[in-house]
Amino acid sequence: MNRRLLSLLSLLACLVAAAPAWSQAPAPDAGPYVPTPQSIVDAMLAMGKVGANDYVIDLGSGDGRIVRTAARRLGASGIGVDIDERLVKMANDEAAREGITQRARFVNADLWNFDTSKATVVTVYLLPSIMPRLKEKLLAELKPGTRIVVHDYPMPDWKHVDYQALREPLKVQAHGLDTAYLYLYVVPPKK
């Protein structure tokens, strides 16, 4: 093996070692489509103090109700990303019907490959099993001060700054309980 090839191989080894853990393992399924009831959408946006200056990213956006509500009722901008093309079309069609396509749009992509760095608020309603990996991704990408509002399944080993348990009968269909649990996290300053 010549010297050039050796140095190329050692560079590759360094890059792999330096890559964040979440980018190495195969992307896990983040969960099926279960829409957040509208009362809980409203509570999530209130908890995140979403306003007209915010850019909201919903990871796994379903029919787009979180970003659409943020745009329609609060004047925010944002984007939703979903792996299901059919849901992305539904969300964009609804946004068009509501006349908010300038501020709310939806893209068909895998959330693990989606750059979240532009967000001022991130919303999450995904499987508990992916939370450790999602936490690493968000801490690596988001600006300090970005709010993350999580529905039902908290981030492991991260102290939330706000918490609410809200009664909502529509939750029974989704997971047998009539309560939604909301957690607010704020990205800390970089070390």
Ligand X SMILES: C[S@@+](CC[C@H](N)C(=O)[O-])C[C@H]1O[C@@H](n2cnc3c(N)ncnc32)[C@H](O)[C@@H]1O
Cα three-residue angle 123-139-108, rounded to 5 degrees: 45
What are the structure tokens assigned to 184, written together? 């607010």
Residue nearest ligand X, Cβ-based: 60
69 binds ligand X per the rule CB under 6 A: no
Q: Which of 50, 71, 83, 104 binds ligand X (CB under 6 A)?
A: 83
Question: Minimal distance in Å, beta carbon 57 to ligand X?
Answer: 11
Contact flag: residue 65 with ligand X (CB under 6 A): yes
DSSP 128: G
CB 149 within 8 A of CB 184: yes
Alpha carbon distance 140, 135 (integer Å): 8
* Residue pointed to by tokens 């801490």: 139
CB 166 within 8 A of CB 180: yes
Closest approach, Cβ 82 to ligand X, in A, equals 4
Residue 121 contacts ligand X per CB under 6 A: no
Minimum gap (Å) between residue 32 Cβ and ligand X? 6
Q: If DSSP codes are grouped into helix, strand and coil, which group holds residue 94?
A: helix
Nearer to ligand X, 56 or 142 (CB): 56
Residue 36, interface with ligand X (CB under 6 A)? Answer: yes
Q: Is residue 30 at the binding interface for ligand X, with CB under 6 A as the rule?
A: yes
Residue with the two structure tokens 């850019």: 55
Given the rule CB under 6 A, which residues bind ligand X?
27, 29-31, 33-36, 58, 60-62, 65-66, 81-84, 87, 110-112, 125-126
